[in-house]
């Protein structure tokens, strides 16, 4: 029987739709619901910059791909249809649920030009004093100097008629976000708080800008551009710097416009800006709705979710050094339920300990003004040998990674840059110390599913293990040696490392479960990840299902595997969308009761398995293993924040708790 698969991009759009539906959850505080609207819009913007741009590149034969141009065109048609549907849903939720709930809380967000008379004078004066000095209108004329529209910036098109001649003309204005807020607060009236979009203030004052013209209308537009950067040559730093300068002028991937725009105006604008019909996407009046996260909250904490207070681990807080505890047993951290401070202390203690000889760490995405980087620099300035493998090809973090690498180099840190043709996505650190009263050295390893980023560690649900087990620290040292000298034939026995033993061992683990199932023994696989896209690995799961292996999947985003088919009858898949972004990757194999578990940086996408350096760390501590199984089962039994991937509507139980809340309570008592 031939296997079939879901479309990758439509699968991702179904995930983003599930994000959107969180805004409908009336059990959430109103600003939490608004946050999900903003996330949906932001996700979609990145989707157009990367995925849609790639399909357009295939169609225009600008990039090489296994995808056929006709297939890419068909996918774009499906994307356009689905995005149009979701945009309608977005504004249905926003207009019929969010705005009325804000109004019930005495917060009014004006959505059109119909403002109260009490605010009209304020708007006029605010425009003249705060906005007008930064307005630079440009009259549009065909065959004139080409106007360049910047990526993801909001512009306003004004339709004008000359009073003396009656001639229609069009002008374009960039909304000066760098100088003014997107949402302008107006004077309160009777304890009601009022806000207005900055572009609506501009639209209400176009007569002040275009004296001598009648204003026929104004319409908001924006453009998304190809933001992907392809760098595979050896001179990666200089090449990347050059390409970063060109990112903002990449090829167009969509032109979004106010659907009220008259056809003649739209046609004129598109001719001037050289925009193809296939790239035009009608939308609502207000665009760039990811800015909703900036909507001020004049009421306060009662309209937002209470902060998640990170749990403390008393044994670590009482310890003289975190390394003493790691010597006794492995330590499990689950962010943001546990404080990220423990990792920072891991680095800080290493920097201050005179026995520390060397620190090695990977850098994929770090926070601006990163404490992690500060601790590494401090260690170097104290005479420790510090080596950082910097992955410059981390999408949208290339510039930050370049800057932090140069800062670290300035204090003597050894920087190893990207490997041509590969991304290093592993999240690992290794600290080596002098060993007293014994021969050799002592090493401490940190394996994580997420980045060394104290900002995202507050928002992303990730897992980490600290260990001093030689069988793991020695192999991690071997991995860093592999990265430093770009070796291609090292042997790993405990760690699973992409490009080396990860794929063969994964297939072995699946086959072992198949063999147990065929012997009539219990066979079970649980996989938690962000994306399941690679067709060959999906085939392995289909084969296992056909053999009778019970498979449970927790896949947050893309999932091309089709449930409900004869060959997937033993596969169950759920998706969890909740307050925290599910980011941890965990693999479980029953192994006839011996239970093998791994925490890992790798999703099952072709890029992770074939074009990246990833690590999967075996969980060897029985206590941690049992805890991870408890967490997986809590998520698999979640009936509040989960849905199968082919469903969207949540069956909300108002008094029930989702798995994230239950995990927090579980970790609190352990």
Does residue 309 sit within a domain?
Answer: no
263 and 285, same domain (yes or no): yes
Structural domain contains residue 512? yes
**Cβ within 8 Å of residue 645, ≥6 positions away:** 6, 11, 14, 15, 555, 559, 563, 573, 574, 575
**Based on the domain organization, do 82 and 227 belong to the same domain?**
yes
Question: 257: helix, coil or strand?
Answer: strand
Cβ atoms 531, 558 nearer than 8 A = yes
Last residue in a domain, options 282, 303, 324: 303
In a domain, 132, yes or no: yes
Q: What's the half-sphere exposure (Cβ side, CA atoms, 13 Å) at 215?
A: 16
d(CA 660, CA 87) in angstroms, rounded, equals 28
CATH number at residue 544: 3.30.870.10
pTM of the model: 0.93
- Whether residues 478 and 356 share a domain: the answer is yes
Residue 651 has a pLDDT of 54
Cβ(227)–Cβ(253) below 8 Å: no
3-class secondary-structure state, position 33: helix
- Cα(43)–Cα(41) distance, rounded to whole angstroms? 5
Helix, strand, or coil (residue 465):
strand
**CA atoms of 168 and 300, how far apart (whole Å):** 47
Residues 451 and 560 in one domain: no
Decide if 426 is inside a domain: yes
Q: Is residue 213 part of a domain?
A: yes
- Which residues pair with residue 617 across a beta bridge? 599
425 has catalytic annotation: yes
**Lookup result for tokens 């330590």:** 331
Q: Quick one: pLDDT at residue 437?
A: 57
Provide DSSP, 145-185. SPPPPPBT--EEEEEEEETTT--EEEEEEE--TTTS-SEEE
Q: Domain check: are 267 and 366 in the same one? A: no
pLDDT block averages, 10 residues each, the chain of length 670: 93 96 95 98 94 86 74 92 95 97 97 90 96 93 77 93 87 93 96 96 95 93 82 65 64 91 94 89 94 96 94 94 95 98 96 95 91 96 95 81 91 90 93 75 96 95 98 96 85 95 98 98 98 98 98 97 96 96 98 98 96 96 98 95 68 72 93
State the angle between helix axes of 502-518 and 535-546 in degrees (0 to 180), rounded to the nearest 10: 10
> Are residues 362 and 485 part of one domain?
yes
3-state secondary structure of 299: coil
Cα distances from 83 to residues 17, 48, 52, 145, 259, in angstroms, run: 9, 11, 12, 33, 15
**CA 149/CA 287 separation, integer angstroms:** 15
End-to-end CA distance of the chain: 47
Place of tokens 């005495």: 106
Residue whose tokens read 């995005």:
83
- Asked whether residue 108 falls in the same domain as residue 216, the answer is yes
CATH number at residue 163: 3.30.1840.10
Which two three-digit tokens encode residue 164? 């003396």
541 with 602, same domain? yes
Of the candidates 73, 81, 249, 66, the one whose C-alpha atom is nearest the C-alpha of residue 153 is 249
C-alpha closest to that of 338 among 307, 311, 308: 311
Structural domain includes residue 282: yes
Same domain, 288 and 233: yes
Residue 371 falls inside a structural domain: yes
At which of 426, 455, 490 does a domain end? 490
Asked if residue 2 belongs to a domain, the reply is: no
Pairing state of beta strands 441-448 and 460-467? antiparallel
User: Could you give the strand order of the β-sheet that contains 183-189, starting from the edge strand earlier in sequence?
Assistant: 107-110, 192-197, 183-189
Which residue among 268, 303, 338 closes a domain? 303
Cβ-count burial of 155 within 10 angstroms (0-12 exposed, 13-18 middle, 19+ buried)?
Answer: buried
Show the domain range for 110. Answer: 8-303
Q: How far apart are CA 492 and CA 488, in angstroms?
A: 12
Collapsing DSSP states into helix, strand and coil, what is residue 402?
helix
Residues 89 and 20 in one domain: yes
Q: Which residues contact 438 (CB under 8 A, 6 or more apart)?
A: none
Q: 104 near 300, Cβ under 8 Å?
A: no
Domains in the chain, number? 3
Q: Shortest CA distance to 9 belongs to which of 66, 72, 61? A: 72
Pair (365, 294) in one structural domain = no
Q: 292 and 376 share a domain?
A: no
As a whole number of angstroms, the longest Cα–Cα distance in the chain is 96
- Residue (of 358, 365, 375) closest to 402 by Cα position: 365
List, as one string, the DSSP characters of 350-363: HHH-TTEEEEEEEE
3-state class of 116 per DSSP? coil
Buried b (16+ CB within 10 A) or exposed e, 120-149: eebbeebbeebbeeebeeeebeeeeeeeeb
Q: Are 444 and 466 in contact (CB under 8 A)?
A: yes
Q: Is the distance from CB of 200 to CB of 110 less than 8 angstroms?
A: yes
Out of 425, 436, 505, 524, the active site residue is 425
203 Cβ neighbours under 8 A, 6+ residues apart: 113, 156, 218
């Amino acid at each position: 029987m031939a296997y079939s698969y879901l479309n990758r991009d439509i699968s991702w759009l179904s995930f983003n739709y599930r994000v959107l539906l969180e805004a409908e959850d009336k059990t959430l505080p109103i600003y939490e619901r608004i946050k999900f609207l903003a996330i949906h819009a932001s996700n979609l913007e990145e989707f157009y910059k990367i995925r849609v741009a790639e399909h357009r590149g295939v169609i225009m034969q600008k990039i090489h791909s296994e995808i056929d141009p006709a297939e890419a065109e068909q996918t774009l048609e499906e994307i356009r249809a689905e995005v149009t549907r979701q945009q309608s849903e977005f504004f249905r939720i926003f207009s019929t649920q969010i705005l009325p709930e804000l109004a019930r809380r005495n917060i009014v967000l004006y959505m059109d030009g119909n403002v109260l008379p009490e605010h009209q004078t304020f708007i006029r004066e605010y425009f003249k004093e705060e906005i007008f000095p930064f307005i630079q209108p440009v009259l549009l004329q065909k065959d004139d100097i080409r106007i360049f529209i910047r990526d993801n910036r909001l512009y306003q098109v004004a339709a004008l008629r000359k009073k003396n001649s009656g001639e229609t003309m069009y002008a374009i204005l960039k909304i000066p976000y760098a100088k003014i807020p997107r949402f302008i607060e107006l004077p309160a009236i009777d304890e009601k708080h009022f806000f207005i979009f900055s572009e609506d203030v501009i639209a209400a004052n176009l007569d002040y800008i275009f004296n001598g013209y009648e204003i026929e209308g104004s319409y908001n537009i924006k453009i998304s551009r190809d933001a992907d950067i392809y760098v595979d040559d050896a001179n990666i730093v200089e090449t990347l710097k050059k390409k970063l300068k060109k990112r903002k002028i990449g090829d167009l991937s969509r032109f979004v416009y106010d659907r009220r725009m008259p056809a003649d105006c739209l046609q004129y604008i598109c001719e001037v800006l050289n925009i193809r019909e296939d790239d035009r996407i009608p939308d609502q009046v207000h665009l760039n709705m990811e800015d909703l996260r900036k909507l001020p909250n004049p009421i306060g904490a009662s309209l937002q979710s209470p902060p998640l207070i990170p749990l403390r681990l008393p044994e670590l807080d009482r310890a003289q050094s975190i390394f003493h505890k790691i010597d006794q047993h492995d330590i499990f951290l689950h962010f943001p339920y546990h404080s990220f401070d423990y990792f920072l202390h891991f680095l800080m203690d290493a920097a201050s300990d005179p026995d520390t000889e060397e620190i090695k760490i990977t850098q994929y995405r770090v926070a601006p003004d990163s404490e992690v980087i500060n601790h590494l620099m401090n260690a170097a300035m104290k005479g420790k040998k510090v080596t950082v493998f910097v992955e410059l090809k981390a999408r949208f973090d290339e510039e930050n990674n370049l800057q932090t690498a140069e800062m670290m180099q300035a204090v003597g840190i050894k920087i190893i840059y990207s490997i041509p043709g590969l991304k290093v996505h592993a999240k690992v650190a290794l600290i080596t110390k002098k060993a007293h009263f014994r021969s050799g050295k002592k090493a401490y390893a940190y394996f994580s599913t997420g980045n060394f980023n104290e900002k995202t560690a507050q928002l992303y649900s990730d897992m980490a293990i600290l260990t001093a087990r030689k069988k793991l620290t020695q192999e991690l040292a071997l991995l860093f040696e592999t990265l430093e000298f770009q070796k291609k034939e090292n042997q790993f026995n405990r760690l699973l490392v992409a490009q080396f033993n990860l794929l063969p061992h994964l297939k072995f683990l699946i086959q072992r479960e198949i063999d147990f199932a065929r012997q009539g023994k219990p066979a079970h696989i649980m996989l938690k990840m962000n994306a399941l896209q690679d067709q060959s690995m999906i085939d392995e799961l289909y084969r296992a299902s056909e053999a009778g292996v019970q498979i449970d999947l927790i896949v947050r985003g893309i999932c091309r595997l089709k449930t409900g088919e004869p060959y997937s009858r033993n596969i169950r898949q759920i998706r969890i969308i909740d307050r925290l972004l599910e980011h941890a990757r965990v693999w479980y194999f029953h192994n006839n009761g011996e239970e093998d578990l791994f925490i890992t940086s790798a999703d099952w996408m072709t890029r992770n398995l074939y074009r990246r350096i990833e690590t999967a760390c075996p969980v060897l501590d029985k206590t941690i293993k049992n805890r991870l199984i408890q967490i997986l089962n809590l998520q698999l039994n979640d009936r509040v924040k989960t849905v199968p991937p082919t469903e969207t509507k949540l069956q909300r139980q108002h008094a029930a708790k989702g798995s994230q809340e239950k995990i927090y309570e579980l970790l609190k008592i352990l």
